[in-house]
Amino acid sequence: MSPPSKLSFLTLPAFDTAAPAGAPRWSTTSYGDTTDTGPQELTALGEHVSRCRADSSRFSRLHCGAVAVHGLVAARFVTTLAVVTALIGAALLVI
């Protein structure tokens, strides 16, 4: 057995390619049959579209905006602190 590599921390974990529980299941192959959509596929597609429409609600947009702001602030934490401190200092000088 060989010793572990110094770069072993760079290896990626194996990804689970199985569909999550409750996910819609449909196949893109027809196995020699006609390529018409079946009732189960249409039902799964309808449920998927309903979930997507619900996700595009007002609160979803608000959540996406909050995630974007969090990403900006988290990536530039020190800069954000410096800007906030400068704004508070400027506001106190004006008052």
What's the pLDDT tens digit per position in 22-53?
665 656 666 666 677 778 888 888 888 887 77
Give the containing element (helix H, strand E) for 19.
none
CA dist list (Å): 46 to 53, 59, 60: 11, 22, 20
What angle (nearest 5°) sits at the alpha carbon of residue 46, between those of residues 43 and 48? 110
Helices 77-94 and 58-75: crossing angle in degrees, nearest 10, is 90
Contacts made by residues 24-31, CB under 8 angstroms, sequence distance 24+: 24/48
- Residue 29: predicted pLDDT: 66
pLDDT in tens, 56-85: 677 777 888 888 888 888 888 899 899 999
- Residue 11: predicted pLDDT: 56
- Residue 86: predicted pLDDT: 96
Query: Does the predicted TM-score (pTM) go above 0.75?
Result: no
Q: What is the CA radius of gyration of the chain?
A: 25
